[in-house]
Structure 1
Amino acid sequence: MTAPKRIFIDGEAGTTGLQIRERLDGRADVALVSISADDRKNPAAKAGIFENVDLVVLCLPDDAAKESVALADTLGDKAPKILDASTAHRVAPGWTYGFPELCAGQADAIKAASRVGNPGCYATGAIAMLRPLVDAGLVAVDATCAIHAVSGYSGGGKAMIAAYEAGQAAPFELYALGLEHKHIPEIMAYGRLAARPLFVPSVGNFRQGMLVSLPLALESLPGKPTAADLEAALQSHYAGAKYVRVMAPEPGGKLEPQALNNTNDLEIRVYANEAHRQAVVVAKLDNLGKGASGAAVQNLELMLGL
C-alpha cells in the first residue's frame, strides 16, 4: 500500500484552512500534520515540519505567506511543494496558477509544479468567463470590461463574519469602491486582459455562495456575436471538465447564489436579449469551494498525484 502524502496546513485555524482540513478529513491517501499553537510563529519548528511533509498549504495573510515561502527556500532539496491560498504569489514569476480549467495543459502544469498559487474567489468566476471568450476572439484583449459580483460574508474574514452573525452588519453593501481590489491583477493576467477591468464587488447577508457577472454589448464585440456564439465558445472550452459546466439560463430572469455551496462546482450561464443585442454572462460558485478550499484540494490532488 502506498504511504499517505503528508500535508501541513500553515494557518489551519482560519476559514480556508478549516475548510481544507474538513474536506481532507478521513482520507486514507493523506496524513495531515499539525503544529502546536505555541510554535505557529516559531521558524525553527515550522522548518522542521516543512522538511518532513510532501506539501504545505499556506492559509495566511500575504506577508506571512511570503515569510513561509522564504523559510522553505532555505531548505533546498528538503523543501516541500507549496500551495499558497493567499494573494501573495498568484501572479509571481515561477509560480503556476491553480485554475486547472484555465486552458489546455494547465492541469498538467499544476501536476508538474512545486509552487502553485490558489486563485481568488472572484477571480475564479471572472476568469472562468473571460478566458474562453478572449481566446475565441469574442472579447477583445484591450476591451475595458465591467465585472460585478456578490459574495456571501464568509469570504470577508473573521471580523466581517462576526459582524454578520451578530446581526450588526448591513444586509447588502458594495465595497472596494477605490477600485483597487486585490483580485484585479490575476483577472487581468489570466483573463488575458490588457485593459484594467472595472470590478465592483459586494457582500450580502448570506454565509456563502457567489455570483460573478460580465455584462456585454454584443454589437461592440469583435464579429458582433450572438449569445449562442458566446455559449458555444464556453461549451467548447469546458468540454469534458469535471467541475466547470456551461448551463442553459434559468427561466424567469433570476439567479440565486447558494445552490453550489459545499461543492467544488462552477456553473456559467449566458443570459441575453437579442432584440437589444445585450448579454450578461454569469458564473455561480461557492466562494469557499471552487473559490477557495475546494480549489485547493483539487490542486493538491494534482500536485501530489492523488
Structure 2
Amino acid sequence: MAQQFPPQKQERQPGKEHVMDPIPQFINPNYKPADKLRGKVALVTGGDSGIGRAVVIYFAKEGATIAFTYVKGREDKDAVDTLKLINEAKTGDSQDPLAVPTDLGYDENCKKVVDEVVGKYGRIDILVNNAAEQYTSKSVEEIDEKWLDRVFRTNIYSHFFLTRHALKHMKEGSSIICTTSVNAYKGNTTLIDYTSTKGAIVSFIRALALQLADKNIRVNGVAPGPVWTPLIPSSFHEEKTSKFGSECPMNRAGQPYEIAPSFVFLACEDSSYYTGQVLHPNGGMIVNA
C-alpha cells in the first residue's frame, strides 16, 4: 500500500487536530449553503475536531446555532480554534456558539451538557452523537473489563444518556444523527471493541427510529469509511497511519468535509422521509446496509 500521509503518532486520546500533518480539511471552498438549518439549535458531541468540526462548521454555514462538546485539557486549543471557525461561518441571525467540556461516558455529565445548552438556547432541534474513541488490539484476550467499559461508555452509553435527556427539549420535526462506521458492516480484526460499539449504534438507530416515528423525530446515522481525523494518529502506529486509507477502492482516506454534507442532509427537511437509515460515505467499500 502506498504512503498517504507522513508517518506520525500521538501517544494519547483524544488526539489533537492542530498537531497533525497535514491538518484535516474541514471545509470545501466550493460548498454553497442554502439556509437549510436556519433557526435550528444543534448539539454536536466531539465537535472540536475531525468529522465533528466539519459538521459544526457546515451546520453554522446553513444557519444553525451551534453547541459542541470536547475533552477539557486535551482538546482546549482545538475547541478554541473551532469556536473561531464557527463564528466566521455563522449567519447573522444565529446565536454565538457554545463549547462544553465534559466526559460523555457518564449520565450526570450528559445531563449537565443538555441543561447548559437548553439554558442558553431554550431547546435542541438537532442532536449529533459523534464522539468516539478507539484502541487497537491483536486479540480479544487483551481487552479487559476496564478497557471495554471505557470504550463502550464513550461510544454508545453516551448516545443513550444524551438522547434521553435531550428528548425532553426536542419537538416534532427534530433530528437525531449518530456516527457509526464502515467497521460495523465489514468488521475489523484489530478494533473488535470499537467495531462492536459501532454495530450497537446501528441497532440503536434502527430501534430508536421506530420508537420516535409517531413523534415525528427522525433518527438516522452516517457510517464513514477511513477519514483523516485525530483519531487516526492517536490510535495507530506510524506505519499504519502513513498508509491509512489505501485499502479503499478510491485508494485514499476521506477528508472531514466530504462527510459533513451527509449530516446536513439528515438534519434538514431534504431528508424528511428518512428515518432508521444510515448513509455510507466510505470511498467505495460495498456493504450490506
TM-score (normalizing by structure 1): 0.39
Bigger proportion of residues as helix = 2
Whose relative contact order is higher, 1 or 2, with alpha carbons under 8 Å and at least 6 apart? 2
TM-score (normalizing by structure 2): 0.41
Larger radius of gyration: 1
Bigger proportion of residues as strand = 1
